[in-house]
Structure 1
Amino acid sequence: MEATAEKTPAHSGSNPKNQLSKPAAFGIQAFFIIYSLICIIPVVLIIMVSFSNETTVVRDGYQFWPAAFSFEAYEFLFKDPTQIIRSYGISIFVTVVGTLLSLVIMALYAYPISRRDFPHAKFFTFFVFFTMLFGGGLVPWYLVYVQMLGLKDNIWALILPLMISAFFVLIIRTFFITTIPNAVLESAKIDGAGEMKIFIKIVLPLSLPVLATVALFQTLTYWNDWFLSLVFITKDANITVQYLMYKMMLNIQFLANNSNVANAIRSAGGTFRFPSETVRMAMVIVGIGPIIFAYPFFQKYFVKGLTVGAVKG
């Protein structure tokens, strides 16, 4: 009986060697709490400043609680909301369509090179890896899209250049190799399923963690991009909201630093006054608005997807 009693604790509960000590657990929790606050506090400050009065901001500086609340920054920003609404529509369309197309094409490329029975897997893996190391440069890149593909002032110019990421292709390939059992694919083949049916019915449902992770990063990439609008778009009707905010910020800086413009406006009987500091913060809030709601949709698979390729104990 004594021997049995001595063995019982060894089979109940988890291994103490795999548990963190209380000081270590407290230290890790404290670190992440502090790190989260460092990330959240600046956003809170930006929101508060955007609702502050311009005069108090210039006089007292940035404050977490405004001395005087004001909506003048947003009133200035939305005096003509037509362009902002249109740019929002362009950004949403580019983000949604670009992310979906990215996932489909990268998954379709990653699946064959993950198969052991595909004879050219090494070549196509090296082919995509090579693009991570070498590029043709900005000018050839521009000429291909403008002269060969004719994408100048075209909304597809905002989608195609960001559609494929070699890094994400290799990540998805690694997930396919390490997570999806080859026996499952062979069983499906024996049952008469074709490659496309195996890919759609078996591979994709089992790959939701990595696909959700890649989708989140691609969503952020498309939404935050303003460079493609700068390079390819000359008409304001097709610019994204990020580039619109960038242009507005440059215009505000120009007006604020140009005394000739101020004198010309005053001589014409106008008033040269606009919320330059607070409107910048309002532009940040307008720019990040919808994208902050994207993460909760991917959170379920995000952590699991980040551990792609990890060694399981």
Structure 2
Amino acid sequence: MLKASITSRIDLAELSRVQQIVGSISRSFEAKVVGQTRLRETLLISLLTGGHVLLESVPGLAKTTAAQTLADSISAAFHRIQCTPDLLPSDIVGTQIYDASHGTFQTQLGPVHANIVLLDEINRSSAKTQSAMLEAMQERQTTIGGQNYPLPSPFMVLATQNPIEQEGTYQLPEAQMDRFMLKEVLDYPSPVEEAEMIRRIDAGVYSAEATPTAVAGLDDVRMIQRVVKNVYLDPALIHYIVGLVYVTRHAQKYIDPSLAALIEFGASPRASIAFTQAARALALLQGRDHVIPEDIKALAARVLRHRIILGFEAVAENIAVETVIDAIVASVQTP
């Protein structure tokens, strides 16, 4: 059982300030993006932890609008990169250009040097370009002409994948997908939400002149990132997280054998790290200075869906990875 008393490392004034900032960002987001509550939550978790998000959805579900709106609301630099097969690593990280007038090379930084970067359809870029981007995500710097250039802080990447039109794409290797903290899957809006989208278009909400006013700054984000690290995570919940990840690797001992047989590879230790970081951020978003088991359960699909590798039998039997994740969560006793 969890301890009855928790010694908080976050004072009430600090928690109140965080809630005020997060609430303002959320309202700014909702004023422009219809629905997509889970997407808003996922983007905020990523922003507050310095993690990255892999997003899967069909076209037209407000991915670019969501990323741009989040950036505008915190005065962040935003760049969108449309991935294509002919995109080069230098097109992303930057390059050196010869200045004939001075006889020297000038460094031109690429679009990855922004606070929020949208990699649209990352699976359409070549493996070499994907690798360059993922290296920047991991190392938080780029190397141009033998010199290192640090990326700005905060820094987050939202990479999208289109589940349709797979011809001419380069699927991300599993080891590279593991570097994304969370994977979110979007669905179509409800009829009510779609009607509201049309109403807002008619009202000019999405016009170029309707850029939302910033409600927070980068210093506020950096402050909250420091506070997130102080959110209390009970040792019992750490064991719970590790237990969930352990079951993904030894599923045959814990879940239905027919489901366990579908798993080819379980999650790496990065999953445990992602759980702890994301759970702390989710607790703070919900106004708490401590993590509860429900935070971890709410994140299970987002943390594990791109880390559990299913065999071809799952595709043949039309079994989604979320079905396996639900079975894994049910098999581990809640603290």
Alignment TM-score, normalising by the size of structure 1: 0.27
Give the TM-score normalised by structure 2.
0.26
Q: Which has the larger radius of gyration?
A: 1
Q: Which one has a larger percent strand, Structure 1 or Structure 2?
A: 2
Structure of higher RCO (CA pairs closer than 8 Å, 6+ residues apart): 1
